[in-house]
Amino acid sequence: MTQTSRGFAAHSPTEALVPFGFERRDPRPDDVVIEILYCGVCHSDLHTARNDWGGTVYPVVPGHEIVGRVVSVGAEAKRFKAGDQVGVGCLVDSCKQCASCKHGHENYCPKMVGTYSGKDLRDGLPTYGGYSDRIVVTESFVLKMPDGLDLKGAAPLLCAGITMWSPLMHWKVGPGTNLAITGLGGLGHMGLKLGKALGANVTLFTRSPGKEDDARRLGADRVVLSSDAGQMKAVRGAFDVIIDTVPYVHDINVYVPTLATSGTLVLVGYLGPLEPALNSVPLILGRKAVAGSVIGGIAETQEMLDFCGKHRITSDIEMIAMNEINGAYERMLKSDVKYRFVIDLASLGR
Amino acid sequence: MTQTSRGFAAHSPTEALVPFGFERRDPRPDDVVIEILYCGVCHSDLHTARNDWGGTVYPVVPGHEIVGRVVSVGAEAKRFKAGDQVGVGCLVDSCKQCASCKHGHENYCPKMVGTYSGKDLRDGLPTYGGYSDRIVVTESFVLKMPDGLDLKGAAPLLCAGITMWSPLMHWKVGPGTNLAITGLGGLGHMGLKLGKALGANVTLFTRSPGKEDDARRLGADRVVLSSDAGQMKAVRGAFDVIIDTVPYVHDINVYVPTLATSGTLVLVGYLGPLEPALNSVPLILGRKAVAGSVIGGIAETQEMLDFCGKHRITSDIEMIAMNEINGAYERMLKSDVKYRFVIDLASLGR
């Protein structure tokens, strides 16, 4: 039977999110039907609701930091059973044929299906995200939530967590790595926690004084005010890896000299032209790299969740009811959240 | 005794190179005294002679693609003996203490001493390069030239060769790697030869039609006209590694989409701001990187020379006499050389 769902949707770039009733697809043999308990609120939700990146399919039900409980599974879905605690992140399908899929990097598959504002590869129907009471997902894109982790705080791991974890793994951050995180928001605070748990020496770059105590509590060994030339000079050549979470245009030329020889600065937050122009001189004379990374593959997302389970890592969150989402968006635009809003879907009523 | 040398020097940014007599240092116990046979002519020679990058110490005797024969060795220099065929590249000393030196990356040592326009770390005297009859070099910075390699064509390996080899190794180019080289000059033609010998599938990006035959002769499996949108579209996502040798400002945004997921574009030619602005979108959505690299360390230079000896790889060269250097510079500025000038130092007279 079709799964009737209730949620919140944006119907145009300029309208607030409002209650929305819609149909989920009939479960296919390899599907898992999930009752959504909590859903983190990512900046991408807001950007998509407002069509900031173009291409939004309306009505859009955002939400891709989903934690829930399995209601039922299809006949061929063997990995889960009713009652299991599961997660769904930013992607719900991919082609499974391309080089990226074969390497477990479904997040780089050209046909990757987003959890919302996407189109199902088999039936062509739109995908709707986690601002809703339930979701139907192919089991190979469903994650197992580790036991003992607070599920509310774990929801943001599905996007903010994996967005930081994937580059930490790809650029081999581990014990003794000198790691810097630029920006202390939803992504940045997860970077501090994960980097510290991996054994790295962790530095936070911030433009705002007064974040020192919180940064240290979250895992930073050092806080550097990037607007202070003296502090920046003191860390020249210091970092093997910098993960830059700042989501707006900013001058990355100030960070490149703080990379060690052969170091890499990884952009995960800002999509657009790098202005002022990136200077190639320190790249060439120090074999440095500027790279990018987006979310992660399914296997590495599970690996991250298991790591977080073992190390008791969750996001610092502020719970909201579903009908508080529009106000939450306004606060996010002012960076007024420590460090992630999470929606309690029980607030929709059952 | 002091080594009286003759060579050619520039005395100011605007003057032609002229004959110049000067003193080489007394050989120290770990020094090797080398009679220079051939010296390749690198674009850096011209840039330094004309102070294009600032900081040139005049008079400057350029030349860092040096091949010669050992005349004598100091009491503690054990690796070489009189008569050995040796090479000297872009650096003649480094601190030996820093992380770069300890990793064999003397080329990234902050105290690295250039073969010319540098200052010796021990006596503070200026260094003079290979446009001269002899040179005195600490033995740990002297390379062994492999037997059976034409020494004239081997001279450019000491800079052009290692400039390509080091990124080929660092970014793990080998059998089956999809490699592209941007630009067909002194560096680019070595990239084609080395990439092919390493077993990569090699593509040349060029803006100039008519280079197809030569590129294929040098090792290219494919030639793509980067000004042709259709040809560029046909290679979207194709390359694991692109080494960009173009020495002037150019739009690298046209090349980034031709990288495969997790691919890297390595700049080795252009020092300056990347304009128009580098777009972070394809970097982030494809985990791609833009990096730089400059020359190489001593151990990897020897490794490259040994590889070239085994595979009979030399540069395509045009021999000139020492007093033809100023005309050669003018032709280089017009890219009118296939693909490297090499000075026969016998032309100085002995």
pLDDT tens, B292-320?
Answer: 999 999 999 999 999 999 999 999 999 99
Distance CA A56, CA A46 (A): 11
How many CB atoms are closer than 10 A to CB B83? Answer: 8
Please check whether the two domains, A2-159+316-349 and A161-292, share a CATH topology: no
Q: What integer is the mean pLDDT of B52-61? A: 96
Distance CA B311, CA B291 (A): 28
Residue B60 carries which DSSP code?
A: B
Q: What integer is the mean pLDDT of B130-147? A: 98
What is the reported pLDDT for A229? 96
Distance CA B97, CA B173 (A): 29
Q: What is the pTM of this model?
A: 0.97
Strands B91-93 and B85-88, sheet pairing: unpaired
Distance CA A282, CA B273 (A): 10
Cβ <8 Å between B288 and A287: no
Q: What integer is the mean pLDDT of B141-146? A: 98
Please state, in angstroms and as integers, the Cα–Cα distance from residue B4 to each residue in A314, B25, B26, B134, following that order: 71, 9, 10, 9
Mean pLDDT of chain B: 97
Determine contact: A43 vs chain B, CB below 8 A. Answer: no
> Which residue is closest to A256 within chain B, CA to CA?
B291
Q: What integer is the mean pLDDT of B73-86? A: 97
Chain A residues with CB-CB distance to B260 below 8 A:
99
Tokens found for residue B345: 């130092």
Q: How many CB pairs under 8 A join A and B?
A: 123
Please state, in angstroms and as integers, the Cα–Cα distance from residue A229 to each residue in A72, A201, A232, B242, B305, following that order: 58, 22, 5, 34, 43
Tell me the backbone φ, ψ of residue B21, rounded to 5 degrees: -105, 140
Identity of residue A117: S
Domain boundary assignment for chain A? 2-159+316-349, 161-292
Cβ <8 Å between A284 and B272: no
* Best residue in A101, A103, A284 for a mutation probing chain B (most B CBs within 10 Å): A284
Q: State the residue for tokens 């000297």.
A: B88
Determine contact: B273 vs chain A, CB below 8 A. Answer: yes
Nearest to A280 among B264, B267, B283 (CB): B267
What is the reported pLDDT for B349? 87
Where residue B1 falls among pLDDT bands split at 50, 70, 90? low
Contact A13, A50 (CB under 8 A): yes
Chain B residues with CB-CB distance to A293 below 8 A:
284, 287
Distance CA B298, CA B141 (A): 7
Give the CATH H-level superfamily of domain A2-159+316-349. Medium-chain alcohol dehydrogenases, catalytic domain (3.90.180.10)
> Which residue is closest to B53 within chain A, CA to CA?
A281
What is the reported pLDDT for A2? 64
What digits encode the pLDDT tens for the residues A4-58?
899 999 999 999 999 999 999 999 999 999 999 999 999 999 999 999 999 999 9
* Per-residue pLDDT at B2 exceeds 70: no
Give the CATH H-level superfamily of domain A161-292. NAD(P)-binding Rossmann-like Domain (3.40.50.720)
List all residues of chain B from 158 to 197 with a beta carbon under 8 Å from chain A: 170
Helices H / strands E in chain B, number of each: 10, 17
Contact A9, A60 (CB under 8 A): yes
Cβ <8 Å between B270 and A280: yes
Q: What integer is the mean pLDDT of B108-130? A: 97
Q: What integer is the mean pLDDT of B81-109? A: 97
Determine contact: A54 vs chain B, CB below 8 A. Answer: no
Distance CA A166, CA B337 (A): 46
What is the reported pLDDT for A1? 52
Beta bridge partners of A42: none
Tokens found for residue A252: 């990355």
What is the reported pLDDT for A4? 87
What digits encode the pLDDT tens for the residues B190-224?
999 999 999 999 999 999 889 999 999 999 999 99
What digits encode the pLDDT tens for the residues B217-268?
999 999 999 999 999 999 999 999 999 999 999 999 999 999 999 999 999 9
Q: What integer is the mean pLDDT of B28-54? A: 97
Enumerate residue ranges in chain A where pLDDT < 50: none
ipTM value, please give it: 0.96
Determine contact: A272 vs chain B, CB below 8 A. Answer: yes
